[in-house]
Structure 1
Amino acid sequence: MAFYSIGDVAERCGINPVTLRAWQRRYELLKPKRTEGGHRQFDEEDIQRIEEIKRWIESGVSVGKVKALLEQSDVNLQDGWESRQEEMMAVLRQARPAKLRAIITELDRKHSVDAVIDQIIFPVRQRLILDVSTAQSMSSLFDGALIDYASSCLAASRKKAGRNTLLMSWGNGDRTRLWLEAWRLSRGSWHVDVLSEPLEHPRPELFPGQHIFLWTGNAHTQEQQEQMAHWKAQGYDVAFHAG
């Protein structure tokens, strides 16, 4: 499981770190883990919860009332995610591409991109890997549909106001995950171009003047953090994508 710093989460979710600390300390909305040095560590579940808190507040609910609403909806939401996972698995076993595309579109219309990816797509992809009765072609069918849909979302986002960025995979060979993270970024007002091949040694100098997100899919190693600091010191507009 990947963990992210409060700075990574603040950038990804568009929330000031001071606000995140207040949600934890004053309102008890968040319960991040801590490193031995006392630094907060957030996982994907924490990030999903932050997005849900944002939705409640943006709908007009005061932050002091959000905790009760979250607790009330936790059980129902989990049951709902599991039923949608089962529906997706059934369509995959029937090998029905058109129905698969329709389900992905429907989920995207009804839920946030983070919820769709983290609560439905990730668990289904994991089940396909672990299910020995599932042919490899079913996994390929699912990944193909996901990449196709993510690509269409990237194209649609370019018709709206936003900032250009390049998304690169740093040492992670899961190409489908890379496109899912591009989809996630596109909903944050980014116009995303994807370097489809994973890179062991990214070279920001080949893309002067361009903003770059680097995705690793795992906790960042000390070497990666030092390399990132070096690039920034040289003036490159680079950042980790915490997806």
Structure 2
Amino acid sequence: MAFYSIGEVAERCGINPVTLRAWQRRYGLLKPQRSEGGHRQFDESDIQRIMEIKRWIESGVSVSKVKALLDENVVTDVPGWRSIQEEMMSMLRQVNPARLRAALVELGRQHSSEQLIDEIIMPVRLRLARDHNTARVILSLLDGALIDYAVLRIAAARKDAVKDALLVSWGNDDRTRLWLEAWRLTGQGWRVDVLAEPLDSPHPEFFPGQHLFVWTGRALTQRQTQQLAHWREQGFTVAIHGE
């Protein structure tokens, strides 16, 4: 059986070694073997698991919830999230935009932005995204309603917010998720403006004096980590949203 070092695995999977160590130590997602010298050793099954973890995270699932998915457990069933997800799936199949908008408003009254995004919206979006047939059409319908709802919530929060920020997507083209993350920031007291198009580089020099949040939706690459450090050394206020 072939074994690979953490550096070899990081290069093969496109993931920073620091991230792999965090997945093991902090989240218990990986259990590599150890060499006689104490170094991590990964086999092909470990690499397959790493790529599955990466796919879940890139689909919008938070890293803290991935282990339960990999172990085929119900992630959010304790407070009844699963039943709410099923209700939304059933509603989406009816293709009724007005009813969907009303449902989002009602759910927004009952739950925080964190709960609605993480426990209901993202699991439903993930299920729809994995279906390559008619569910993709329904996903498009849902995304349109979500952006519309997020924009309304962001606008409503402006009058009560006390601090300004600009949110930019850095290398992630999930526009729906960007608007949802902007809404999430309003729950933390931010008056948020959104740069709607994803950028390969956020260029903080274009926004002098502004608090800039950048969102990637995944662990930073080595290049992004270096770029972020460079911006901060130059005195720009740049934060990684969701870090």
TM-score of the alignment, normalized to the shorter chain, above 0.5: yes
Q: Structure 2 counterpart of 1:164, which letter? A: D
CA distance in 2, matches of 1:161, 1:121: 24
1:238 equivalent in structure 2: 238
For structure 1, list consecutive stretches of 5 or more residues without a partner in the other structure: 6-30, 38-42, 48-73
Residue 194 of structure 2: SS of its match in structure 1?
strand
The one of 56, 62, 68 equivalent to 1:44 is 62
Q: Is the contact made by 2:186 and 2:192 (CA closer than 8 Å) also made in structure 1?
A: yes
Distance in structure 2 (CA, Å) of the matches to 1:134 and 1:87: 18
For 1:45 and 1:242, the matched residues in 2 are separated by 11
Q: In the TM superposition, what is the alpha-carbon distance from 1:239 to its structure 2 partner?
A: 0.7
Q: Which one of the candidate residues 23, 27, 36 is aligned to 1:33? A: 27
Checking the alignment, whether the CA contact within 8 Å between 1:114 and 1:184 is kept in structure 2 is: yes
**How is 1:27-176 mapped onto 2 (pairs within 5 angstroms)?**
32-33=26-27, 44=62, 46=64, 76-77=78-79, 80-176=80-176
Runs of 4+ in 1 over 6 A off after TM superposition: 34-37
Specify the SS of the correspondent of 1:164.
strand
Q: How much has 1:135 moved relative to structure 2?
A: 4.4
> 1-side partners of 2:105 and 2:63: how far apart?
23
Deviation sequence 1:135-179 (CA, Å, 0-9, x none): 433111100100001001110111113211000000001000100
**Which stretch of structure 1 is more off in the superposition, 167-176 or 220-229?**
220-229
The structure carrying a bigger helix percent of its residues is 1
Counterpart for residue 22 of structure 1 = none
Percent of counterpart pairs with the same letter? Answer: 54
**Quick check: 1:32–1:46 contact (8 Å CA) kept in 2?**
no
User: In the aligned structure 2, how far is the partner of 1:157 from the partner of 1:203?
Assistant: 27
Structure 2, unpaired ranges of 5+: 1-14, 19-24, 33-38, 40-60, 66-75
Q: Which amino acid aligns with 1:120?
A: I
Confirm whether residue 204 of structure 1 aligns to residue 204 of structure 2. yes
Matched AA of 1:234:
Q
CA distance in structure 1 between the partners assigned to 2:158 and 2:240 by the alignment: 22
Q: 1:132: Cα distance to partner? A: 4.2
Please list the CA deviations of residues 30-67 of structure 1 after superposition, one character each: whole Å capped at 9, or x if unmatched. x9437999xxxxx83759xxxxxxxxxxxxxxxxxxxx
Amino acid at match of 1:136: R
* TM-score (norm: length of structure 1): 0.69
- Aligned counterparts of 1:148 and 1:238: Cα–Cα separation in 2: 27
8 Å CA contact 1:212–1:237 kept in 2: the answer is yes
Distance 2:141 2:100 in 1: 9
Distance 1:75 1:197, change over 3 A: closer
The 3-state SS of whatever aligns with 2:78 is helix
Q: Give the Cα separation in 2 of the matches to 1:75 and 1:218.
A: 25
Q: Distance in 1 between matches of 2:27 and 2:95?
A: 41
SS in 1 for 2:193: strand
